[in-house]
Amino acid sequence: MNWEKGNLDNLQIPLLLEIACFPDGRINVRRGLSDLDELVPHLADMYRLSDDERSARCASDGRNVFRNVVQFVRQELIDNGEIDVMANELWAVNAKGMQRLRDSVVKMLNQIPSDKKLADLLVVRDENEQDLLLSALRRVPEESLPTILRNCETQQELFVAAVQNIPPALFGDFAVSASKEIRGLIVDYHIAPFRGFSFATNPV
């Protein structure tokens, strides 16, 4: 894979998502036993990298190319003010990063091509045996619920509005509890531009 600038930009949201799904929205990247050792192969799976792409090494220093890519994108997110570097070599998604992640999910949901596709997802149960609609609604501030319920006519509209109103501080919790289907949609939406297919004509 040719990791050009556009490709790197498309890795930002999936990387935010995966870090957000770690406990407390942070990962430990200390040498030795590192969450990064779990994160990098998982992202490689999501991006459907070949064995050669996974094992490619930099000619200059012999380091793994994709691991370097993940660290480079992490630095972009730090520069954007969306990831904090904490003591003990922790990477943490902050409120700005959670808000960007939430807004990206809302944008993706609004572009799902058919009501039926999202309707099928809304009946999928999360790890707490709640459907995705209820999982989103239970994280919406109580004062916002009457307006959302009054203004939405379909389940799709209700779900998108609920996700849009989840406070950034609670969005990581929603991402963890959400089904693999939703997470897969997010990733495929962001890899579509450089994998040569259209999200609208090739839904997950």
Structure confidence by residue, pLDDT tens digits, 156-202: 888 889 989 999 888 888 887 775 666 667 666 665 544 443 333 33
Confidence class of residue 50 from pLDDT cuts 50, 70 and 90? Answer: confident
Are the beta carbons of 77 and 83 closer than 8 angstroms?
yes
Q: In this structure, which topology does domain 5-94 adopt according to CATH? A: Arc Repressor Mutant, subunit A (1.10.10)
CA distance 148 to 168: 18
Identify the helix (H) or strand (E) that includes residue 28.
Answer: strand 26-28
CA distance 199 to 110: 12
In the chain, ranges of CATH 1.10.10 domains: 5-94
Give the per-residue pLDDT at 165.
Answer: 93
Main-chain phi, psi angles of 83, to 5 degrees: -130, 135
Are the beta carbons of 131 and 124 closer than 8 angstroms?
yes
- Name residues whose C-beta falls within 8 Å of residue 71's C-beta, 6 or more positions apart in sequence: none
- The string of pLDDT tens digits covering residues 177-190 is 775 666 667 666 66
